[in-house]
Amino acid sequence: MASIHRTTMTPSKLELLTGWLPKQSWYAGSGEAPDLVKAGGFRLDDPEGEVGIEFMVVADTSGQEPVAYLLPLGYRAEALEGIPDEALIGTSEHGVLGTRWIYDGAHDPVVRAQLRALLRGEAEPQQQNVSDTPDPTVVVHGTGPDQGTDVRINRVLRASEAGQGSPARLVAGWTWPDGTAVRGELATVTPR
């Protein structure tokens, strides 16, 4: 199980995401720099113990209404080869682990494999900020992916648990900046 280190990261995850997020095609902001706050999330364990896996929900408060984004993150001790350059969110100095390469988990094969395992009921979600502690609020509805399906990560989140037509849905919660707690679909299984 993953250990959460109580230390610093320089630059911080939110600082790196503030520069990276507006460059994404699915960014719903107005073009100005986002004002990000951590709103929720969870972790998954890498069976090999090499990759840190976090599914972070951030709220962008720069517009008239806040927008929630799901950012799957893969933390690595070395650069990942064979993926698009834009998948690298940035590097950060971790106070315990040293330099970490932080990737958009949608492009990281270990992150994607563990998300598929979660949707099949073969991985257990962990609390975002507590070591070795399952997170029972992260729930999978339906049956997981098979060979004829793909997993779609919902980048812009909506508050709703009422999914339709998907064999499996990953549902979890986040908190808006005003303190309102909501839940929504973070990922779904779709036919290829």
Rounded CA separation 128/171 (Å): 15
pLDDT tens track, the chain, 192 positions: 566 656 677 789 999 999 999 999 999 987 678 999 999 999 999 999 999 999 999 999 998 899 999 999 999 999 999 998 889 999 998 766 679 999 999 999 999 999 999 999 999 999 988 888 999 999 999 877 777 678 999 999 998 866 555 678 999 999 999 999 999 999 998 877
Whether the CA torsion 85, 2, 100, 82 is positive or negative: it is negative
Instruction: Determine phi and psi for 113, rounding to 5 degrees.
Output: -65, -40
Predicted TM-score of the model (pTM): 0.91
- Which residues touch 62 (CB under 8 Å, ≥6 apart)? 29, 30, 32, 33, 34, 35
Contact (Cβ atoms closer than 8 angstroms) between residue 77 and residue 56: no
Burial of 111 (0-12, 13-18, 19+ CB in 10 A): buried
Contact (Cβ atoms closer than 8 angstroms) between residue 152 and residue 146: no
Rounded CA separation 174/22 (Å): 21
- One-letter amino acid identity for 150? D
